[in-house]
Amino acid sequence: MIVEEHMELKGEIRTPGKAGSLRQAGRLPGIIYNKDLNLTISVDLRTFDRAFRDNGTANLIDLEVDGKTHPVLIKAVQMDKRLRRPSHVDFFAVTAGQAVTVSVPLDYVGTSVGVAEGGQLDIARRELQLNVLPRLIPSQIEVDISELNIGDSVHINDLASSLFPEGAEVVDDGDLTLITVVPPRVEEVEEPVSEFNAEAEPEVIGRGAEDEEDGESTDENSG
């Protein structure tokens, strides 16, 4: 699915060395760069954080700074582990007509025959590396798994070319496995070991009735 409308974000030029005060003011420090460009900027933290969580790194962003719009991709995000929020972002400015390499999410759709029979999905890859024109970057690639039986797998080479934008090339190895339907797990139940041994002689404590009778008859005979 190709995204026709791209997210819009507004940034401001920032003075290097003021990152701490910017964060306190609710701004996220960052840069816009490519081989011909290097701008230090800041964007609204809440707006970026929401967009980043919803869209990830594959979607193109129209980032406006000082009245000029830069088509960019999120290249790297540094996270504050204590506060659990972004602390810095790198935007890569794309060039029109020049392909870029991006990680595109895979969306596995349908309920496979094998799963309906009790099998389980073993997902090996959730993303695919594509080399594609910026304006043709898909938000995701749908992979139909409804025909998979237990033991069946989908490899990159199995994907139809119609799933990809025109001119896109898969960077990953075509032999890589994406998903497999594996047999259900069978838990082995250990049989309890009985402490009773039928062949062992029972231990006798005290004298039983038969022993007493035997003893009495012995006494009588002896007398």
Q: What is the pLDDT of residue 2?
A: 52
Q: What is the pLDDT of residue 194?
A: 56
Q: What is the pLDDT of residue 199?
A: 54
Q: What is the pLDDT of residue 66?
A: 93
Q: Which amino acid is at 163?
A: L
Q: What is the pLDDT of residue 207?
A: 52
Q: What is the pLDDT of residue 56?
A: 79
Look up the CATH superfamily of 101-182.
Ribosomal protein L25, C-terminal domain (2.170.120.20)
Q: Over 91-128, what HEC string results? A: EEECCCCCCEEEEEEEEEECCCHHHHCCCEEEECCCEE
Global pTM value: 0.70
Q: What is the pLDDT of residue 153?
A: 98
pLDDT along the chain (223 residues), means of 10: 70 87 93 94 94 83 94 93 92 92 94 95 96 91 96 97 93 97 80 57 50 49 49
CA-nearest of 221, 142, 137, 127 to 178 is 127
Q: Determine the Cα–Cα distance for residues 82 and 183; give it in Å rounded to an integer.
A: 41
Domains of the chain, residue spans: 7-94, 101-182
Q: What is the pLDDT of residue 200?
A: 52
Q: Determine the Cα–Cα distance for residues 190 and 173; give it in Å rounded to an integer.
A: 43
Q: What is the pLDDT of residue 17?
A: 78
Contacts of 28 (CB under 8 A, 6+ apart): 22, 42, 43, 44, 45, 48, 49, 86, 87, 88, 89
Q: Do the first three CATH levels of 7-94 and 101-182 match, i.e. the same topology?
A: no
CATH ID of 7-94, from 3.90.180.10, 3.30.300.30, 1.20.58.340, 2.40.240.10: 2.40.240.10
